[in-house]
Chain A
Amino acid sequence: TQLLEQSPQFLSIQEGENLTVYCNSSSVFSSLQWYRQEPGEGPVLLVTVVTGGEVKKLKRLTFQFGDARKDSSLHITAAQPGDTGLYLCAGPFGNEKLTFGTGTRLTIIP
């Protein structure tokens, strides 16, 4: 069982639609980060959320940290083909620098 479960695992939608990706855990995290990874590259940090209930916006992307700091969501408005990629949530846990979620593979169809 993964510490951070992401849903859905795969998502394929048309350009212009909205979508939400979820990251859930039964454990409390001091912070959570969201990364996007494209084929042949390493993950790139999108945002870090620290405070329970925090909402951060990055252009068309909105990130929210749950009040209890056990979950987070990523909402994309008017998805574009450039949003295609593997979205990963991650947080520091135990001795690990970062524990990563199971990932959501997003495909935006033009």
Chain B
Amino acid sequence: KAGVTQTPRYLIKTRGQQVTLSCSPISGHRSVSWYQQTPGQGLQFLFEYFSETQRNKGNFPGRFSGRQFSNSRSEMNVSTLELGDSALYLCASSLRLAGSTDTQYFGPGTRLTVL
């Protein structure tokens, strides 16, 4: 079974631009979560989508948004990019929405560089 795929793998943008990242979960998985990974802050939770609805949100500004489609594919958007948004953006999918022992499967990430 194919794993989580993310596109593009690498992206370079300039300050003020916006960017859209895409994530295709494992077939049958309905929950998609997004994380930001930076050397300084580590891995931080952005938001989770389930059945096309945002269910949980981390402590990020409103410039970070996302959506999920009926086929469970998800996109995240960052508007008005700042230098500090340079990071590895990871997507993870799981079968269920809740459950502390739910296994998440991570994609390889999209490396975003903001110049």
Q: How far is the CA of A96 from the CA of B45 in the complex (A)?
A: 6
What residues of B have a CB within 8 angstroms of the CB of A90 in the complex? Answer: 43
Q: How far is the CA of A21 from the CA of B42 in the complex (A)?
A: 17
What residues of A have a CB within 8 angstroms of the CB of B45 in the complex? Answer: 96-100
**A50 to B57, Cβ gap below 8 A?**
no
Q: Given contacts A97-B45, A99-B45, A102-B42, are A42 and B100 in contact (CB under 8 A)?
A: no
B101, CB-defined interface residue at 8 Å: yes
- Smallest CB gap from A2: residue in B: B42
**B103 to A40, Cβ gap below 8 A?**
no
Q: How far is the CA of A18 from the CA of B63 in the complex (A)?
A: 45
Chain B interface mostly: strand
Contact with A along B30-71 (1 / 0, CB 8 A): 000101000000111100100000001110000000000000
**B90 to A42, Cβ gap below 8 A?**
yes
Q: How far is the CA of A55 from the CA of B106 in the complex (A)?
A: 25
Q: Given contacts A50-B101, A97-B33, A97-B56, are A88 and B43 in contact (CB under 8 A)?
A: yes
Besides A42-B108, A48-B101, A100-B44, 20 more A-B contacts (Cβ < 8 Å) are A2-B42, A30-B100, A31-B100, A41-B109, A42-B4, A42-B106, A42-B107, A43-B90, A44-B106, A48-B103, A50-B100, A50-B101, A90-B43, A95-B58, A96-B56, A97-B104, A98-B35, A100-B45, A102-B42, A103-B43
